[in-house]
């Protein structure tokens, strides 16, 4: 994908203006370049944000795996497609060439077909970061099955919710996973989840840790013997551009997680286009994104975007702290990584450690650094720039969402001058707007407001699986004819964007989206708890951490507080996963509420952050006296 190798800011503005003047021409040109379409589209774009309905490249047909694998075979068949770096540094890395990937994906696809999986069926993938994860994703796409990867840190209950929501027929998992010095019993978690899932009739199990697990008869099978038997070629299913490619769950501020549904053609075009431009990938480069494929970052920028560009993409199984805090940099040196993309929370954690962990490695191969998932603070930005990039690698602070499918606002290296904490400018084709609380667009610079996107882009999610009304209510109802992101942002004097954080009840902890409502639901299920409210407060590594205000039932009042805290966190861990545990739990006699009964989280946020200025007028509350008491006992 050549497309735009934008080299100067002036060139960016030219391209950007053209993309806004005639978006359909702009995207059509990109789609025509280098992709393999089995049939061309009749129309580039049809859209109506009031329904909302968006279709890109209607009438076109393709298979995304032909674009990610087959079309590279003649030109770069022996090139490494996936470079797998295991958790244990003593285990050799695995270089999977495009030819080998073709064979592995084909075999896996044939196994899926053999087990009765057809186009449109949902397959839930619950795997660690091992090659089978990428291969199974691509195998689903090969046959038109809809993959839904669930991050293998989620609990059995969270996994079951997702399986049931998309009515998956199959689960792909492993006998366990390595995470630093620990192992995790993934198969046990799947077994527990499946006790409450009626739709799954097959479980394929990859062998990773050689643990002694039980296979359930007529349901579970080891994957490897099936792959060994399978034929190494699989004719790709021809998909319509708007056929679903995957469902990926993301937390909402209320209720159960939202299954964001992405479709095939537009997603492919945008993942490939944004990858190429944001990372300026060149043929000899070795690109590494440290995310997990269980998140959208891994979907778009470990699997689809890089492979659509014929890139070498590193897949790392482990954690940044194992066997020591130098692991990331050791891998950069070992594989001569050229582009490195990670999360601010990882940077903050590593910046706390001895600088020797960085300086003892040769990082001179690096050309571009990236961050994603949450705002990066100035200190972390400078540490990354000074010690990892050695001041010669532009940092792309990429703003986007599960819903957007690809990077929306980001510098383009060597073209856009970077500015710490700013995601800077929209990629060509993306039209952001800042809105005020009355629904009016705020024009001009040096302003702030709610971040919306006013024109469709190819990789936007098309719906929430099984709940189009929720899709409309969440994203298209706050502002007329706009996609609302849920984020606040400011635009500085030159038009650069800085994302200031969520304006809804989603809290980003270590780069993970956590909705307050599901966590509160989990806490409230504890028999001693009457009611609870969760807010975020600043944390120097996680970005935000969670603070829970909990009202106990009478039966809980006599209990030991620390035991209760542990039990509440265990409850959250069981229902959602350890990532959602609370850092602080304060037991309170009541919660500040409006007269209509709505919890005033604004006040709780201030208390949790120990910022007692401007608490606002509390006299209009239903129970103003409770605020003083909460402040007095704040942790």
Does 399 bind ligand PRX (CB under 6 A)? Our answer is yes
Task: State the residue number with the nearest CB to ligand PRX.
Answer: 402
Residue in 138, 144, 413 with CA at minimum distance from that of residue 274: 413
Q: State in angstroms the smallest separation of the CB of 404 from ligand PRX.
A: 8
In angstroms, give the least distance from the CB of 508 to ligand PRX.
Answer: 5
Q: How far is the CB of 501 from ligand PRX (least distance, A)?
A: 6
Piece in contact with ligand PRX (CB under 6 A), picked from 11-19, 392-400, 545-553, 625-633: 392-400
Q: Of the candidates 502, 496, 330, 537, which has an alpha carbon nearest to the alpha carbon of residue 397?
A: 496
Residue 411 or 592: which CB sits closer to ligand PRX? 411
Stretch that binds ligand PRX, among 147-155, 172-180, 282-290, 393-401 (CB under 6 A): 393-401
Looking at residue 386, the DSSP 8-state letter turns out to be: I
Q: x/- contact string, 464-493, with ligand PRX (CB under 6 A)? A: ---------------------xxx------
Asked if 240 interacts with ligand PRX (CB under 6 A), we say no
Nearer to ligand PRX, 310 or 344 (CB): 344
Half-sphere exposure of 280 (CA within 13 A, CB side): 20
Taking the least distance from each CB to ligand PRX, the nearer of 328 and 399 is 399
Q: Of 220, 292, 374, 504, which lies in the binding site for ligand PRX, with binding defined by CB under 6 A?
A: 374
- Biggest CA–CA distance in the chain, Å, is 74
Shortest distance in whole angstroms from residue 314 CB to ligand PRX:
18
Return the range that interacts with ligand PRX (CB under 6 A); candidates 103-111, 307-315, 368-376, 605-613. 368-376
> Residue 199 in contact with residue 163, Cβ under 8 Å?
yes
Binding-site size, ligand PRX (CB under 6 A): 21
Minimum separation from the CB atom of position 490 to ligand PRX (A): 12
Residue closer to ligand PRX by CB (options 506, 550) is: 506
Interface pattern 509-548 for ligand PRX (x via CB under 6 A): ----x-----------------------------------
Beta strands in 277-354 (DSSP E): 286-289, 312-316, 339-342
Q: Are 157 and 575 in contact (CB under 8 A)?
A: yes
CB neighbourhood size of 70 (10 A) = 17
Q: Candidates 113-121, 369-377, 521-529, 599-607 — which segment interacts with ligand PRX by CB under 6 A?
A: 369-377
In degrees rounded to 5, what are phi and psi of residue 421?
Answer: 75, 0
Least distance to ligand PRX, CB of residue 318, Å: 20
Report the C-alpha gap between 227 and 422 in whole angstroms.
Answer: 47
Closer by beta carbon to ligand PRX, 250 or else 309 = 250
Enumerate the H helices of 344-396 as residue ranges. 344-351, 356-359, 378-383
Number of helices (H), then strands (E), belonging to the chain: the values are 22, 30
DSSP, res 385:
I
CA 85 to mean position of chain CA atoms:
21
Judged by CB under 6 A, the residue of 65, 264, 398, 516 near ligand PRX is 398
Tell me phi and psi for residue 255, to 5 degrees: 60, -155
Instruction: Give min distance, CB of 462 to ligand PRX, in A.
Output: 16
502 lies in the site for ligand PRX, by CB under 6 A:
yes
Total residue length of the chain: 635
Give the Cα separation of 509 and 502 in Å (integer): 12
Question: Is there binding between residue 257 and ligand PRX (CB under 6 A)?
Answer: no
Could you tell me the end-to-end alpha-carbon distance of the chain, in angstroms, rounded to an integer? Answer: 54
Give me the 580-619 binding string for ligand PRX, x by CB under 6 A, dash otherwise: ----------------------------------------
Instruction: In whole angstroms, give the CA distance from residue 238 to residue 66.
Output: 10
The contacts found for 453-456 with CB under 8 angstroms, 24 or more apart, are: 453/404, 453/408, 453/482, 453/483, 453/485, 454/481, 454/482, 454/483, 455/20, 455/23, 455/431, 456/45, 456/47, 456/49, 456/54, 456/56, 456/483
Given 128, 294, 326, 373, the residue binding ligand PRX (CB under 6 A): 373
- Provide the minimum distance between the beta carbon of 260 and ligand PRX in the complex, in angstroms, as a whole number: 8
Dihedral, 221, 223, 226, 231 alpha carbons, nearest 10: 150
Q: Of the candidates 482, 499, 528, 579, which one interacts with ligand PRX according to CB under 6 A?
A: 499
Question: The tokens of 293 are what?
Answer: 């494929």
* Binds ligand PRX by CB under 6 A, chosen from 264, 312, 313, 401: 401
- Among 103-111, 206-214, 397-405, 528-536, which window interacts with ligand PRX (CB under 6 A)? 397-405
> In the range 58-87, which residues lie near ligand PRX by CB under 6 A?
none
Q: Give the one residue of 259, 375, 411, 592 binding ligand PRX; rule: CB under 6 A.
A: 375
The torsion angle over the Cα atoms of residues 542, 544, 547 and 548, rounded to 10 degrees, is -100
Do the beta carbons of residue 196 and residue 230 sit within 8 Å? no
Instruction: Specify the residue, 89 or 501, whose C-beta has the smaller distance to ligand PRX.
Output: 501
Distance CA 452, CA 485 (A): 6
Is 400 a binder of ligand PRX (CB under 6 A)? yes
Backbone torsions φ then ψ of 381, nearest 5 degrees = -60, -45
Residue of 423, 425, 591, 627 that binds ligand PRX (CB under 6 A): 423
User: Given the rule CB under 6 A, which of 199-207, 225-233, 329-337, 366-374 is the region that contacts ligand PRX?
Assistant: 366-374
Is residue 497 involved in binding ligand PRX (CB under 6 A)? no
Closest residue by Cα to residue 453 from 53, 49, 58: 49
Does residue number 372 form part of the binding site for ligand PRX (CB under 6 A)? yes
Residues 6+ apart with CB under 8 A from 103: 232, 233
Give 363 or 372: the residue with its C-beta nearer to ligand PRX: 372
The string over 247-262, giving b where at least 16 C-beta atoms fall within 10 Å of a residue's C-beta and e elsewhere, is: bbbbbbbbebbbbbbb
Tokens of 522: 């989990």
Quick check: 249 binds ligand PRX (CB under 6 A)?
Answer: no
**How far apart are CB 443 and ligand PRX at their closest, in Å?**
23
The DSSP bridge pattern shows strands 122-125 and 146-149 to be parallel
For tokens 């010690």, what's the residue?
A: 387
Which residues pair with residue 312 across a beta bridge?
Answer: 286
- Find all residues with CB under 8 Å of 438, minimum gap 6, and list them: none
Site string for ligand PRX, 259-298 (x = CB under 6 A): -------------------------------------xx-
Nearer to ligand PRX, 328 or 381 (CB): 381
Binding-site ranges for ligand PRX (CB under 6 A): 250, 296-297, 372-375, 397-402, 423, 485-487, 499, 502, 508, 513
């Amino acid at each position: 994908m050549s497309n735009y190798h934008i080299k100067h800011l002036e060139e960016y503005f030219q391209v950007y203006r053209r993309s806004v003047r005639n978006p359909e021409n702009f995207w059509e040109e990109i789609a025509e370049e280098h992709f393999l379409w089995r049939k061309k589209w009749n129309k580039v774009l049809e859209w109506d944000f009031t329904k909302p309905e968006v279709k890109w490249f209607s009438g076109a047909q393709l298979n995304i795996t032909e674009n990610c694998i087959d079309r590279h075979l003649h030109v770069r068949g022996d090139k490494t497609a996936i470079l797998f770096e295991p958790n244990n540094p003593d285990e050799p890395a695995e270089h999977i060439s495009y030819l080998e990937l073709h064979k592995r994906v084909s075999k896996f696809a044939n196994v899926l077909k053999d087990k009765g999986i057809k186009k449109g069926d949902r397959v839930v993938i619950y795997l660690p970061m091992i090659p089978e994860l990428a291969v199974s994703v691509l195998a689903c796409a090969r046959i038109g099955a809809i993959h839904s990867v669930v991050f293998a840190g989620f609990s059995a209950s969270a996994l079951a919710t997702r399986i049931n929501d998309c009515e998956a027929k199959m689960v792909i998992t492993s006998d366990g996973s390595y995470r630093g010095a620990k192992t995790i019993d993934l198969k046990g978690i799947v077994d527990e989840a499946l006790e409450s899932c009626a739709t799954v009739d097959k479980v394929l199990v990859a062998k990773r840790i050689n643990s002694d697990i039980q296979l359930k008869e007529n349901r579970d099978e080891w994957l490897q013997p099936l792959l060994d038997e399978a034929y190494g070629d699989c004719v790709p299913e021809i998909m319509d551009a708007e056929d679903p490619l995957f469902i990926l769950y993301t937390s909402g501020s209320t209720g159960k997680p939202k299954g964001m549904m992405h479709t095939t053609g537009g997603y492919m075009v945008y993942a490939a286009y944004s990858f190429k431009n944001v990372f300026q990938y060149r043929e000899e480069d070795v690109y590494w994104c440290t995310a997990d494929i269980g998140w959208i970052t891994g979907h778009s920028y470990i699997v689809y975007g890089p492979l659509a560009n014929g890139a070498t993409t590193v897949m790392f199984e482990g954690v940044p702290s194992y066997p020591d805090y130098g692991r990331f940099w050791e891998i950069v040196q070992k594989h001569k990584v050229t582009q490195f993309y990670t999360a601010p929370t990882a940077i903050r954690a590593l910046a706390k450690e001895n600088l020797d962990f960085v300086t003892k490695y040769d990082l001179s191969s690096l050309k571009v650094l990236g961050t994603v998932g949450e705002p990066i603070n100035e200190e972390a930005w400078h540490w990354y720039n000074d010690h990892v990039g050695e001041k010669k690698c532009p940092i792309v602070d990429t703003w986007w969402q599960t819903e957007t499918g690809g990077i929306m606002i980001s510098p383009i290296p060597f073209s856009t001058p970077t500015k710490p904490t700013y995601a800077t400018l929209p990629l060509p084709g993306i039209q952001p707007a800042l809105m005020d609380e009355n629904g009016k667009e705020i024009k001009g610079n040096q302003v702030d407001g709610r971040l919306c996107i006013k024109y469709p882009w190819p990789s936007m999610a098309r719906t929430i699986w099984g709940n189009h009304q929720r899709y409309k209510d969440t994203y298209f109802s706050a502002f007329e004819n706009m996609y609302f992101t849920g984020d606040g942002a400011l635009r500085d004097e030159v038009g650069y964007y800085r994302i200031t954080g969520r304006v809804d009840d989603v809290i980003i902890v270590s780069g993970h989206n956590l909705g307050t409502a599901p966590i509160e639901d989990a806490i409230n299920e504890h028999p001693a708890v009457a009611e609870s409210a969760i807010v975020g407060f600043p944390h120097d590594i996680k970005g935000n951490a969670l603070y829970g205000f909990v009202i106990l039932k009478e039966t809980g009042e006599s209990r030991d507080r620390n035991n209760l805290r542990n039990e509440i966190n265990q409850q959250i861990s069981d229902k959602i996963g350890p990532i959602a545990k609370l850092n602080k739990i304060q037991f309170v006699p009541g919660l500040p509420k409006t007269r209509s009964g709505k919890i005033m989280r604004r006040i709780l946020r201030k208390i949790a952050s120990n910022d007692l200025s401007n608490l606002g007028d509390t006299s209009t509350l239903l129970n103003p006296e409770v605020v003083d008491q909460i402040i007095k006992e704040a942790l």
